[in-house]
Amino acid sequence: MTTKKKVAVIGAGVSGLVTAKTFKEKGHDVTIIERSHDLGGVWELSRSYPDVQTQSPKDLYRYTDKPMPDDYPEWPKGPQVHAYLDSYAADYNLRDHIRFNTSVSEMTRRADGQKGWTLHLVDQAGKESTEDFDFVSVCTGQFSEKNILTHPGQEAFEAQGGQVMHSSEYTDPSIVEGKNVTVLGFSKSATDIAVNAVKSGAKSVTIVYLQSVWRVPYFIGGLINFKRILYIRKQEQMFPSWGLNPMQKFAHVIGKPFVWANWRALEALLTMQLKLKKTGLRPEIKIEDEINCSVPIVTPGLFEMIADGRINCIKGTFKEYEGDSVVLTGGEKVKTDLAILAVGWKLGVPYLPQEYQDKLVEEDGQYRLYRIIANPDLPDMGFVGFNSSFCTVLCADLAANWLVRYADGKLAKQPTEQQMNDNIEQMLHWKRHEKPSAKVYGGLCVAPYHFKHFDELLDDMGAKIRRRNPLAENFTPPDADAYRRFLDSTPDYRVN
Ligand SMILES: Cc1cc2nc3c(=O)[nH]c(=O)nc-3n(C[C@H](O)[C@H](O)[C@H](O)COP(=O)(O)OP(=O)(O)OC[C@H]3O[C@@H](n4cnc5c(N)ncnc54)[C@H](O)[C@@H]3O)c2cc1C
């Protein structure tokens, strides 16, 4: 029998909730530490910008044991996702396990000689405490520490009435009314905010961007839900992946002309549909070299607004603030009342001691994580939700199931330290030399290799069923209900 552990789950977002549920289900004693006043992580209501909605269709952005409600739209709005997560927490009585308004400021190895970690906690009132845990699951995601950018002249710009904010602080659209708004960045949040600012009565809206990227519309060609084209195993197999045998490599060589034509056709279709030539926003990079977690879904209305001038796009970046304007690197001066910096988030686990951070992250920023979940040099610890993707809830669910078995020594293929390190090196080599786009977000992105990643996790867990019928498996998107069946076919156990 495996012994019950006292488990800390850091973060009560999508990943923390499913991790707590999964460890609890096996019989562990679970505490979730959450620094916010509510659950949901990026979907917590006070953090969400107006009109935020998922990029993933609802049947792909869900846990394996809980569909989103039937009356939700195909791409649910932020508050609907939050309500779904809240209801999931209620189903498994998770709220009682959450310690809200409590931050993990540091974690150190336990001084009592036992396995595990001592968490250093700070509550809302600033009161500090420590608590020992046998195992820690890090579920703090990739969107917890803002990137803060300042440019020369910001103080004077603010003193004369200008405003500067991070994209995550744009929660009240009424602040843009009658204002000249300049958005720095071209990510999904940047374009969502720019479109929302136009709709909310901004006087002018300018996007300042470094380079254009391929974006996928909700309906390709205006007709086909993108999940039916981009989320299927057959499409995934067009990308050469890691660990291919000679036959598979040969198949890629033979299929190259067909695959090339497939991508050129998609580029031509997107160029036409999104008016990329007219707006000068056709990316230079090939689409197949860019498909990873950073590919945004098109904000509805974006390209129409760019084409008719309601949104002005200027290539470059901020150089400085001057009077009531932002001066760009190309010399342009953009009159600005409100500058919104959609410059993303810092990756990292800041509360981990430097000595362990060095074991976790390579000098070039790549993470050393086996299956994007565990590191053999970071004992009694795992990471859920770091395997981000276009269907992160499903990824987190499978990762949590893998992690509890790993922690309990119950994987059917429990890896040795040597096997983990060899695999980590193999993956690092593949990302650095064969698939540079897989290095995005420190290598913490499984897209477009969802199926292959899930196959590996299920194989490790000893799932007896791993595939649907060949037609469904090859030509339809991942099916959360099917993954529940696959998980249910893994060997069961409980801790005492
Ligand atoms: C606007 C937006 C839209 C998105 N849409 C999609 C989508 O459609 N499809 C998709 O697959 N992904 C999407 N994502 C990615 C999204 O991040 C993941 O889908 C998922 O929500 C991540 O959940 P998480 O629990 O891993 O992290 P988070 O949601 O970031 O939760 C982390 C939690 O950890 C807490 N925390 C952080 N540090 C500490 C600390 N030191 N102590 C205590 N608590 C701490 C935070 O307060 C937070 O609650 C979107 C992201 C954003 C921002």
Instruction: Please give the number of the atom of ligand 1 that sits closest to the Cα of 55.
Output: 8
Ligand 1 pocket member 11 (CB < 6 A): yes
CA distance 379 to 360: 11
From the alpha carbon of 168, which atom of ligand 1 is closest? 53
Query: Are 270 and 212 a contacting pair, CB within 8 Å?
Result: no
Say yes or no: CB of residue 36 within 6 Å of ligand 1. yes
Cis status, amide bond into 246, omega within 30 of 0: no
Q: Candidates 88, 106, 123, 140: which one to mutate for ligand 1, based on the most atoms within 8 Å of Cβ?
A: 140
Which residues make up the CATH 3.50.50.60 domain(s) of the chain? Answer: 6-145+346-488, 146-345
Residue 273, classified by CB atoms within 10 Å of its CB into exposed (0-12), middle (13-18) or buried (19+), is: middle
Positions of the chain with pLDDT lower than 70, given as ranges: none
Q: Does residue 239 sit in helix, strand or coil? A: coil
For the domain 146-345, what is the CATH code? 3.50.50.60
Strand partners, 327: 320, 333
The closest-lying atom of ligand 1 relative to the alpha carbon of residue 53 is 3
Q: Which of 269, 295, 298, 243 is nearest to 437 (CA)?
A: 295
Predicted confidence at residue 494, as pLDDT, reads: 96
* Angle formed by the axes of helices 392-407 and 450-461, nearest 10°: 20
The DSSP result for 271-330, as a single string, is: HHHTTTTTTT---SS-GGGT-STTPPBPPTTHHHHHHTTSEEEEES-EEEEETTEEEETT
Residue 277, classified by CB atoms within 10 Å of its CB into exposed (0-12), middle (13-18) or buried (19+), is exposed
Phi, psi (rounded to 5 degrees) for 132: -90, 140
| CB distance 390 to ligand 1 below 6 Å | yes
Q: Is 13 helix (H, G, I), strand (E, B) or coil?
A: coil
How far does residue 293's CA lie from ligand 1's centre (Å)? 14
6-145+346-488 CATH choice from 3.50.50.60, 3.90.1660.10, 3.90.700.10, 3.90.180.10: 3.50.50.60
Q: For a substitution probing ligand 1, which of 101, 392, 397, 398 has the most ligand atoms within 8 Å of its CB?
A: 392
- Tally of CB atoms within 10 A around 180: 20
In the DSSP assignment, the letter for residue 75 is S
Ligand 1 atom at minimum distance from 13 CA: 25
Strand (E) positions, 142-236?
Answer: 145-146, 163-166, 180-184, 204-209, 219-220, 224-225
The whole model's pTM is what? 0.94
Phi first, then psi, for residue 281 (nearest 5°) are: -105, 15
| Ligand 1 centroid to residue 44 C-alpha, Å | 9
Candidate from 34, 38, 42, 59 with most ligand 1 atoms within 8 A of CB, to mutate: 42
Q: What pLDDT score does 129 carry? A: 98
Instruction: Say if ligand 1 is within 6 A of residue 196 CB.
Output: no
Q: Contact 363/424 with Cβ under 8 angstroms?
A: no
Q: Burial of 124 by CB count in 10 Å (0-12 exposed, 13-18 middle, 19+ buried)?
A: exposed
Beta strands 128-133 and 311-315: pairing type?
Answer: unpaired
pLDDT digits (tens, 9 = 90+) for 97-129: 999 999 999 999 999 999 999 999 999 999 999
Q: At what angle do helices 480-488 and 392-407 cross, to 10 degrees?
A: 10
| 184 C-alpha to ligand 1 centroid (Å) | 22
The residue length of the chain stands at 496
Amino acid 358: pLDDT: 96
Cα 266 to chain center, whole Å?
A: 24
CA of 186 to the centre of ligand 1 (A): 20
Q: For residue 385, report the distance from its CA to the centre of ligand 1, in Å.
A: 8
Q: Which residues contact 168 (CB under 8 A, 6 or more apart)?
A: 47, 49, 143, 146, 189
CA separation for the pair 56, 52 (Å, rounded): 12
CA distance linking residue 425 with residue 369, whole number of Å: 10
Looking at residue 48, its pLDDT comes to: 81
Count of C-beta atoms within a 10 Å radius of residue 361: 20
**Tokens found for residue 204:** 């002018």
Give the distance between the most distant pair of CA atoms in the chain: 70
